[in-house]
Amino acid sequence: MKKFLKKKYNYKNKNVLITGGLGKIGFKLSKILYEEGANLAITDYISKNADLKKIKNFTNKNRVSFFNCDLSSALDRKKLFVDIKKKFKKIDILINNAALTGDKFGKIEKDFEKQDYKIWNKELQVNLISVIEIIQKLKKLILKSKSPTIINLSSIYGIQKPDFEIYKGTSMKNQIGYSISKAGLIQLTKWFAAYLAPKVRVNCISPGGIIRNQPKNFVNSYKKNTLLKRMATEEDIISGILFLASDGSEYITGQNIIIDGGWAN
């Protein structure tokens, strides 16, 4: 059994490209993969001292490269592809994790009536269009891997209608641009799973809400919507990503794994 697990869940010497790799899920996941011996290409919009501090966690600079890139900018993306191709000859695992969540970019959440096309455009660029372009421009590197795999991070809001009741009495919002971009990622996953078959596996993870100091009344209402009566943790989501990134899932492609404690239908 030990031998089986070791063989299937082996990330050593795998080249992993992760977008949003300094975000909350991205950073924890990057650290685990780094500790397991993977070579990392981490891209993020590096804007704060906190980001630079995070980078210091990766002491072996031969195994980790950082690419500062605003994924909403076509110019930045163009530079990213050139830089990655200079540094890497193949990509084994691509994790499309970045999303415009508003954390680093100030409060992007606004009432629907106060939003405009600029924010919808940016959400679509970062959460969806950049993923299409990353796959298109790095396809050759991905095809050089023996068992390449792509994992896209969607959301339960890409699958189901929002429950606006749970936001009542809080300043939190449910953004239309976020939901439609995440819905697009699920179909994008199926499209690329077919287009890149049988060589590349392409799958998606749709997380439910992660517990992070949200207002108590929100958390309580949220929990009631789940069968497991709790919000998710980052570890819940990372476990799923690691599964899809490993040979443990080598007969799985085109799937959307919902990790939401049993909220979605």
Ligand X SMILES: NC(=O)c1ccc[n+]([C@@H]2O[C@H](COP(=O)([O-])OP(=O)(O)OC[C@H]3O[C@@H](n4cnc5c(N)ncnc54)[C@H](O)[C@@H]3O)[C@@H](O)[C@H]2O)c1
Residue 4, number of CB atoms within 10 A of its CB: 9
By CB under 6 A, which span of 17-25, 31-39, 52-60, 143-151 interacts with ligand X?
Answer: 17-25
Does 236 interact with ligand X (rule: CB under 6 A)?
no
Residue 107, number of CB atoms within 10 A of its CB: 9
Of residues 32, 55, 210, 252, which one binds ligand X by CB under 6 A?
Answer: 210
Of residues 20, 177, 240, 261, which one binds ligand X by CB under 6 A?
Answer: 20
- Alpha-carbon span 71 to 183, nearest angstrom: 19
Nearest to 14 by CA among 31, 29, 34, 28: 34
Could you say which residues in the range 134-163 bind ligand X, by CB under 6 A?
153, 155
Q: At residue 20, what is the residue type? A: G
Of residues 16, 18, 64, 98, which one binds ligand X by CB under 6 A?
Answer: 98
Does 126 interact with ligand X (rule: CB under 6 A)?
yes
Token pair 């799923």 is found at: 240
- Alpha-carbon span 62 to 137, nearest angstrom: 24
Q: CB-hemisphere CA count at 13 Å for 206?
A: 26
When the beta carbons of 1 and 227 are compared against ligand X, the nearer one is 227
> How many chain residues are in contact with ligand X, going by CB under 6 A?
25
Q: Least Å distance between CB 113 and ligand X?
A: 23
What is the distance, to the nearest Å, from the Cα of residue 227 to the centroid of all Cα atoms in its chain? 24
- Alpha-carbon span 152 to 193, nearest angstrom: 11
Q: Is 206 helix (H, G, I), strand (E, B) or coil?
A: strand
By CB under 6 A, which span of 8-16, 80-88, 97-105, 162-170 interacts with ligand X?
Answer: 97-105
Q: Least Å distance between CB 89 and ligand X?
A: 24
Of residues 148, 177, 207, 261, which one binds ligand X by CB under 6 A?
Answer: 207
Residues near ligand X (CB under 6 A) are 20, 22-26, 44-45, 69-72, 97-101, 103-104, 126, 153, 155, 207, 209-210
